[in-house]
Structure formats: C-alpha cells, structure tokens
Chains A and B, each alone.
Chain A
Amino acid sequence: MIKLENISKIYPPDIKALYKVNLHIKPGEFVSIVGRSGTGKTTLVKLLIGEERPSQGKIIVGGWDITNIGQAEVPVLRRQIGVVFQDFKLLNRKTLFENVCFALQVCGEPQSKINGIVPQVLKIVGLENKMHRYPSTVSGGEQQRAVIARALVHRPKILLADEPTGNLDSINADEIIEILQKINKFGTTVLLVTHNRDVVNKLRKRVITIENGLIVGDQAVGKYIL
C-alpha cells in the first residue's frame, strides 16, 4: 500500500530530515511510527500527502508513483488519504456536522451524497449526539474525533494520524486510539505517529522507530523502545 525506496529529504541548507529510508507497509496494516522530536516523522507524513517532494528516492502509494506528483494531481491523492494532525483544524464558525460536510462540499460532491456519508462517519467516531454543536462547546477529544470523521469522508484506503493524541489526556487518547483501531478493522491502512509510550505498548502492533532521519527499529509486535 505504501512503499518508500531509498527516500531522503534534505531541507536547505543541510538538514537531513529523512535519510535513505526504506519502508513497506501492506494494505490493512496498523503501523505506529515513534521517535524523538525533530527526527523526521512529520516529514514522512508530508511526503506521503504530496506536501513535500523527496530529495531522493521513490514513493509509491496504492500503486501510484507520487515521487514527483504534479500540483494538479495532489488533490486526487489527498482524496485517497485521510489525514489527522495534532492541532485540530476545525472551523470554529461551523458545527461539527458542517465541518465534516465542508470537506465534501469543497470537493464538489453533491448534497445527496454528503447527506448520506456525513452521519455515517460521525457515527463511526461516536459523535452522532453532538454533531450539531460548535467546536468550542465540545471537549478536545471530541474535536479530534470530528477531525477523524472528516478524514474519513472520502472513504480513504489510508489514514495518516500525526500525533492525534498529542493534546489530549490519557482517557481521551485511549478513545481516539480505539476509534483508529475500529477504522483499521474496516480495512483501512492506519499510520499512527505518536510520542505516547502507553499507547504504543497497548496496541501490540507493528512499530517503526526513527532516529535522526534513519529507521532504527521495525518490529512486527513492537514496544516503545526509546
């Protein structure tokens, strides 16, 4: 599903965010990526969604070589990959429901389709009772769940979550991870970037450890080893 071949990303002047990374993630996997701050985890996510181009190497996502993807094709890629970041990027003037609708509206989807999908994804993340609230009136965990719901509207094959629990307490964090596992059970490949030792240890899934832009660990049932 995701294949990185010899990927390097060097930011000017000479910051090696990633260096000669080889990685293969199969469809339906749940992979955690761990590593210290500034080791290139977010850079990896950015390469996968076409926000940055690699300095070297080859990236293939779902059989599509996106190494030198053109500006016009980036939107097509992003409709196949759901993304969740640490800071909940919700629009404060819209309800959670409207926030999720927005993602489909701006992609030109018809209202009938929007009306069908949005309640479904909100149900997956357990927000069916709070979907008409505004972001400021729900908890951080609920906001993050709305963001996950939004990432699901295109029914992506891949879900990238870059520190989705970073701003949450452990109870809320556990709930978010549960939702990610649920999504993974439906068949979506999940890539979770995290700092959270407990989360990783509880998951008992594949763990990839990055240090200074290099992959230093890759275990099928991994533990947080740093």
Chain B
Amino acid sequence: MFLLSILRVIKFSLQDFVRNIWLSVITIIIIVLALISVNLLLVVKVLGTATVNAVKEKVDISLYLKSESEESRILALRSKISSLGSVQEVIYISKQEAIDSFREKHKNNPEILAALLELGRNPLSPSLVIKPKDINNYEELIVSLNKIDDQLIESRNFDDHRAMLAKVNDITEKASRVGLAISLLFILITILVVYNTVRVAIYTHKREIGIMKLVGASNWFIRAPYLISGIIYGFLGVVAIIIILYPLLSFIQPYLEVFFYGFKVNILEYYNSNFFTIFGLEFLAVTLVNFLASLVAVGKYSKV
C-alpha cells in the first residue's frame, strides 16, 4: 500500500511537471546554469592545482658534486642534508643514473648521442636533488644549504621559482573566488526559482489539493508530489549538465595539452575517474537545495 502510494505520488508529480512544462523547463535551465558555474569552479581548481604542482616540480634544489667523489662521502652528505628541518627528501643521482637519464632524454637525437660516444667517458657529475618541505621556507633552506661547506660540492642551483608560484596561487585563488561568488549567486537564484515553481504548481492544483484534503488524503500524500518535483528537477538538471559538459571538456582538452606542454593535465580524465563523486555530489546538493525550497513553499502554500 505504501509502495502504491509512492507510485501514485510520482505519477502526480510527473503530471504536474508536464502540465507546467515551460516553468519546468525554465527551472531546469536555471539549475543547469548553477551547475555550469559550479563545474567551472571545479575546473579552475583542478587546473590551478595542476599548475602549482608543475611549478613545484621545478622548485627542487640541485647540488652538483665533484665528478670523482666517493660514494660513501656523498651518502654521508646526503644524510646530513636530510637531517635539515626544512628538507622533505634528498635524492642521490649517481653519475651513472645521470648519464642514463640523459641518454633517455635525448634518445631521439643521434647527434648528441654520437658526441657523447666520442667523448668516451661520462662527462656528468653526480648530484643531490633536494625537495623542500614547504615552499614558504625556501629561503631558510637556501641559507642552511649555503652553510654546508663540503669540498664535494661543485655548484649549487638555487633558481627561485617562488615568484611564479605565488602568481599562480594568486590567479587560482582569485578565479576560485569569482567562481565561488557566481556559483553562490546561481544557487540562490535556483532556490528562488524552484520555490516559485513549486508555489505556482501548488497554485494551479488548488482545487485538487482542496479535494484531497476534503476526502481525507494524508498531509504527506498532498505534499510529496511537490517535493518529488524538486528532486526530478535536480535529476534532470544533472543529466543535462553531463550532456553539456562532456563535449565542452573534450573541446578544451587539446588546448590544455598545448598550454601545459610537458605536464599531465587531463581534465576529461579527471571527470571520468571522479564521475560518480562529482555528479553524485552535485545531484545530492541540487536535490537538497530543491527539496528545502519545495518544503518551504509547500509548507507555506498548501494550507487550503
């Protein structure tokens, strides 16, 4: 009997959806706009993080060591640097590893490989790659690295990428803030539109509601169709956003690849691998918003 009632309630709310079809369509368009802005916000966040990570990779400090250094002394130096507070990790790249990765990097360039062969020996020096724990303590790290005065050290590479990093962070943050403001605005508009739609729906069903009350329909039965309409709007809105978003992402993906040349930035893949999380959460959020808006409207207008 309960299931039967649920089915009838769903049937009523679908009838209501069709009867006010234009209002329904407008409601869904507004929901889609809200979802577009939320998803844009997400894309900005993802790209921002990707950029920051890309820059961070360049932030490592390399200490180049003398070519003939003994391995045991290098390892001693390595553990000494490791013990510094602001160091996350120290990676030792031996002469052999350096030449291997050099060869790998230039495997498509026979001239360089030929020159290397001609040289007859390994011209590269071993190095220590130091990853800082926190970008913000970069300066401190450099100071302490400079204090280490080991004869092993041939040269130090302290390129400061912090300015760039700060800029990227700044842009991402600003874009996120604008995106957040737009999203909030659209969510607010969504609430108002859904509220109004439900209000109109109730108004057009005044007679039905009056009869339902007169013949003893329970309160939840009278109200449920309008709450379910809210859920239907949310569901269709999310379906629409999926249909709209994917072509859009496929369209911008090649441009992203060009822009982030050399780094793995794949927004399409990000959406694919987080499909259920992203759209599930968006559905839940929209449904909740609609449900609450409907609840208020129903509470206010269904007293006939």
Residues of A within 8 A of B (CB): 49, 71-72, 74-79, 83, 89, 91, 102-103, 105-111, 150-151, 153-154
Residues of B within 8 A of A (CB): 1-2, 4-5, 8, 207-208, 210-219, 221-222
> Within 8 Å CB of A106, what residues of B?
8, 212, 215, 217, 221-222
Q: When A and B form their complex, what is the total count of cross-chain residue pairs whose Cβ atoms lie within 8 Å?
A: 59
A103 touching B215 by the CB < 8 A rule? yes
Q: Which of B4, B212, B215, B221 contacts A154 (CB 8 A)?
A: B215
Report the bound CA distance from A49 to B210 in whole Å: 13
Q: Which of A78, A105, A108, A154 contacts B213 (CB 8 A)?
A: A78
Report the bound CA distance from A174 to B128 in whole Å: 107
Report the bound CA distance from A77 to B216 in whole Å: 7
> Within 8 Å CB of B222, what residues of A?
106
Q: Which of B1, B210, B213, B219 contacts A72 (CB 8 A)?
A: B219
Q: Which of A74, A79, A89, A154 contacts B210 (CB 8 A)?
A: A89
Q: How far is the CB of B11 from chain A (nearest CB, A)?
A: 9
A75 touching B4 by the CB < 8 A rule? no
B5 touching A108 by the CB < 8 A rule? yes
List the 9 closest pairs (A to B, CB-CB), nearest first: A78-B216, A106-B217, A79-B216, A103-B215, A108-B5, A75-B216, A106-B212, A75-B218, A108-B1
A71 touching B211 by the CB < 8 A rule? no
> Within 8 Å CB of A91, what residues of B?
207-208, 211
Report the bound CA distance from A83 to B216 in whole Å: 11
> Within 8 Å CB of B211, what residues of A?
89, 91, 102-103
Report the bound CA distance from A77 to B213 in whole Å: 11
> Within 8 Å CB of A72, what residues of B?
218-219
Report the bound CA distance from A83 to B212 in whole Å: 12
Q: How far is the CB of B68 from chain A (nearest CB, A)?
A: 90
B4 touching A110 by the CB < 8 A rule? yes
Can you name the residue of chain A whose Cβ is closest to the Cβ of B222?
A106
> Within 8 Å CB of A108, what residues of B?
1-2, 4-5, 8, 218, 221
Report the bound CA distance from A164 to B153 in whole Å: 106
> Within 8 Å CB of B214, what residues of A?
49, 78, 83, 89
Q: Which of B1, B212, B219 contacts A71 (CB 8 A)?
A: B219
